[in-house]
Amino acid sequence: MCSIFGMFDLQPGDDLAALRQQALELSQRQRHRGPDWSGVFVDAGVILVHERLAIVDPASGAQPLRSRDGGLALAVNGEIYNHRQLRAASAYDFTTGSDCEVINALYREVASPVEWVGRLNGIFAFALWDSESARYIIARDPIGVCPLYWGHDSEGRLCVASEMKALVGICNDVAPFPPGQVYDSADGELRRYYRKDWRDYAQTQGHDVAPEALREAFEQAVHRQLMTDVPYGVLLSGGLDSSLVAACAARFARRRVEDNDQAEAWWPRLHSFAIGLEGSPDLAAAQVAADALGTVHHGFVYTFWEGLDALPEVIRHIETYDVTTIRASTPMYLLARRIKAMGVKMVLSGEGSDEIFGGYLYFHKAPSAEAFHEETVRKLDALHSYDCLRANKSMMAWGVEARVPFLDLEFLDVAMGMDARHKMAGQGRIEKAVLREAFQGALPDEILWRQKEQFSDGVGYGWIDGLKAHAEQAVSDREFAAAATRYPHNTPATKEAYLYRRIFEKFYPGQACAETVPGGKSIACSSPAALAWDPAFASAADPSGRAVRGVHQQALA
């Protein structure tokens, strides 16, 4: 991944030299996402800046990508996993080996942006400029794995950036660019290009997916996302999701080692990474999984004070004040720094599985398959504000790309097309049983059947408790009593939430920035709609949920 910055709708009287310098300075705020190289393109109506993290085609894939005739300029943050198939079907005159150049090809060969953007299987946010027609296209991947923000400066020029920090102080109307949509300046319309039949539960009723088909679909998703020309690894918490990603990656890595006869090389041997407080459940489980899979494992210990010291930088990087996201982002941010120091630039991660398969513990309370399915759709729609935001920005703070095979678009069609009655938990059936059954034998039983931990708990049960205790000291009763006056939008409900909001406001002042963070009551990462599933949820105090009583073996009393 990388970062992009774009400024559009420049007028003939604009000072291009001054605006170019401004664009460079704004883009520099997000250079941590692309420390390898910077590229700039300036035309009469546009300025594009690209900060590159070179993963695929490091030698020739520098951006903005230009067409052979110079008419197109493209800045992309992301990866296009089906680029080889798209290249093979195209007559376009490619100039690089970059996976992203197929976007220029599709633009030239297919009339409707809704149609051609919908052909991309990948994670992406891009801005494309056509100098001949003075037309530009902006789009974001269907789930919102790659972040993208937009807004207008004081002169009405449209600005887009990978991170909000590049637009703060410039755009008073900054907002997230919606996932799964494309903007075309030719008509000024924002259109949805990604809409699946499986969103409607009725379209999935009675549809079974055989265990071997589910397993094959996921293995192929992992294989697609191993597309890289640089050293890579896997995040391995020892939970089900990351362990399955690691198991599939290890299988393909073994093939690569055998084919290249480089078993003693540092790379392509598969390295795995975990982090936690001393004695954390994740560190212990991750070691068990790593030993079984044969990865070169690195388990890092952080202290509570190291995490606390990092909080301001974590919030600055992840650009949210959501309590659950900050709790989980902090250890991930610390882990990314360790990974970067070891020379790894890309990791596979397990985000998305809980949303697809109903892995959060509150799904045990779902009253019906239809309610279960509708909640998974709501969760997928919100991922760009929560787990995708966390994984992407925590890792990219140190120039490490996180890829998420569970959110591969082809795999999503298989897994979300399944009747949710097969996914339901409760009455002795563990969450995500259908996924566990599909991978029987791929992991030790103690990992394959390990019950769900909230990530913030898995890194060590003292992490959340320590944050709450610190907030009690850092936020006075008087301050907290006036929370609604100071923060009328998404008023903090706890001192911990108030503390994070106060830090966020320092970096991201103003109503527009505050409104980029969703609100509403939640328990165990639920949507507000799922609170009706259990009357006990109404009195639950912690948004991470911890271990849900009556569900988790280690539930808090």
pLDDT in tens, 312-350: 999 999 999 999 999 999 999 999 999 999 999 999 999
Q: Is residue 480 part of a domain?
A: no
Task: Examine the domain organization and report whether 156 and 231 are in the same domain.
Answer: no
Give just the sign of the alpha carbon dihedral 350, 352, 356, 358.
Answer: positive
Phi, psi for residue 120 in degrees, rounded to 5: -80, 125
Task: Report CA-CA distances (Å) from 515 to 90, 352, 383, 512, 551.
Answer: 42, 24, 16, 5, 34
State yes or no: is 100 an active-site residue.
no
Q: Judge if 154 and 116 occupy the same domain.
A: yes
Q: Rounded CA gap, 28 and 356, in Å?
A: 36
Contact 231, 345 (CB under 8 A): yes
Alpha-carbon gap, residue 6 to 476, rounded angstroms: 42
Q: Is there a domain that residue 556 lies in? A: no
The predicted pLDDT at position 265 comes to 41
Q: Please give the pLDDT value at position 422.
A: 97
* Cα(498)–Cα(477) distance, integer angstroms: 11
Mean pLDDT of 223-251: 94
Q: What is the pLDDT of residue 229?
A: 84
Domain count for the chain: 2
3-state DSSP call for residue 4? strand
| Weakest-pLDDT range from 16-30, 145-159, 418-432, 451-465 | 451-465
Contacts of 481 (CB under 8 A, 6+ apart): none
Average pLDDT over residues 139-165: 98
Q: Is residue 60 part of a domain?
A: yes
**Which residue is it, tokens 């890579």?**
232
Higher-confidence position of 183 and 35? 183
Which domain, by its residues, includes 228?
A: 199-470+520-539
Is residue 245 included in any domain, yes or no? yes
Separation of alpha carbons 150 and 159, rounded Å: 6
Q: What is the pLDDT of residue 524?
A: 66
User: How far is CA 227 from each of CA 164, 208, 344, rounded to the nearest angstrom?
Assistant: 28, 30, 14
Exposure of 83 in the CB half-sphere (CA atoms within 13 A):
24
264 and 407 co-located in one domain: yes
Same domain, 148 and 242: no
- Residue 210: pLDDT band with limits 50, 70, 90: very high
Helix axes 495-507, 462-474, angle to 10 degrees: 70
**Spatial distance between the Cα atoms of 26 and 22, rounded to a whole number of angstroms:** 6
Find out whether 418 and 204 touch, Cβ atoms under 8 Å: yes
Same domain, 253 and 286: yes
> Are 421 and 364 in the same domain?
yes
Instruction: Look at residue 219 and tell me whether its pLDDT is greater than 50.
Output: yes
Same domain, 45 and 61: yes
Task: Give first-to-last CA distance, the chain, whole Å.
Answer: 43
Structural domain includes residue 76: yes
Do 321 and 513 form a contact (C-beta atoms < 8 A)? no
173/308 same-domain check: no
- What span, in angstroms and rounded, lies between the C-alpha atoms of 5 and 471? 36
For residue 511, being part of any structural domain is answered with no
Of 250-264, 389-403, 417-431, the poorest mean pLDDT is in: 250-264
pTM as predicted: 0.94
- 3-state SS assignment for residue 187: coil
Report the b/e string of 479-513 with b at 16+ CB within 10 A: ebeebeeebeebebebbbbbbbbbbbbebbeeebb
Q: What is the mean pLDDT of the chain?
A: 92
Cα–Cα distances in Å, from 360 out to 78, 292, 364, 368, 424? 28, 26, 8, 16, 11
Q: Is 522 helix (H, G, I), strand (E, B) or coil?
A: coil
The pLDDT value given to residue 350: 97
Is the predicted pLDDT of residue 60 greater than 80, yes or no? no
Least confident of 81-90, 217-226, 542-551: 542-551
96 burial class (0-12, 13-18, 19+ CB within 10 angstroms)? middle
CATH code, domain with 362: 3.40.50.620
pLDDT above 60 (res 261): no
pLDDT of 551 higher than 80: no
β-bridge mates for residue 6, sequence order: 48, 160
Q: Is the pLDDT of residue 28 over 50?
A: yes
- Kindly indicate the confidence band of residue 526, based on its pLDDT and cuts at 50, 70 and 90: confident
Is the pLDDT at 544 greater than 90? The verdict is no
Distance (Å, whole) CA 77 – CA 94: 19
- Of 227, 233, 176, the C-alpha closest to 515 is 176
Q: Check which CATH number belongs to the domain holding 46 and give it.
A: 3.60.20.10
Same domain, yes or no: 35 and 158: yes
- pLDDT band, very low/low/confident/very high, at 458 (cuts 50, 70, 90): low
Q: Is residue 545 one of the residues assigned to a domain?
A: no
Q: Do residues 137 and 220 share a domain?
A: no
Q: What percent of the chain has pLDDT over 70?
A: 92
How high is the pLDDT of residue 256? 56
Tokens of 413: 């069609």
312 Cβ partners below 8 Å, 6+ apart?
503, 506
Alpha-carbon gap, residue 506 to 500, rounded angstroms: 10
Picking from 149, 174, 195, the residue at the C-terminal end of a domain is 195
Quick one: pLDDT at residue 166? 98
Do 140 and 227 lie in a common domain?
no
Residue 99 has pLDDT above 70, yes or no: yes
Structure tokens at 125: 């946010």
Tens-digit pLDDT profile for residues 350-393: 999 999 999 998 999 999 999 999 999 999 999 999 999 999 99
Residue 255 has pLDDT above 70, yes or no: no
Gap between the Cα atoms of 396 and 401, Å rounded: 6
Alpha-carbon distance of 138 to 182, in angstroms, equals 6
- Distance from the Cα of residue 479 to its chain's centroid: 34
- Output the DSSP codes for 16-40: HHHHHHHHHHHHHTTGGG--SEEEE
* pLDDT band at residue 145 under the 50/70/90 scheme: very high
Q: Within 10 A of 457 (CB to CB), how many other CB atoms are there?
A: 24
The Cα 447–Cα 301 span in angstroms is 21
Residue tagged active-site, from 2, 100, 248, 525: 2
At 319 the pLDDT is: 98
Indicate whether 267 pLDDT > 60.
no
Residue 506 lies in a domain: no
Using the predicted structure, report yes or no on whether residue 221 has a pLDDT greater than 90.
Answer: yes
Residues 253, 390, single domain; the answer is yes
Please report the pLDDT score of residue 557 as a whole number. 33
Question: pLDDT at residue 540 above 70?
Answer: no
Confidence at 263, pLDDT banded by 50, 70, 90: very low
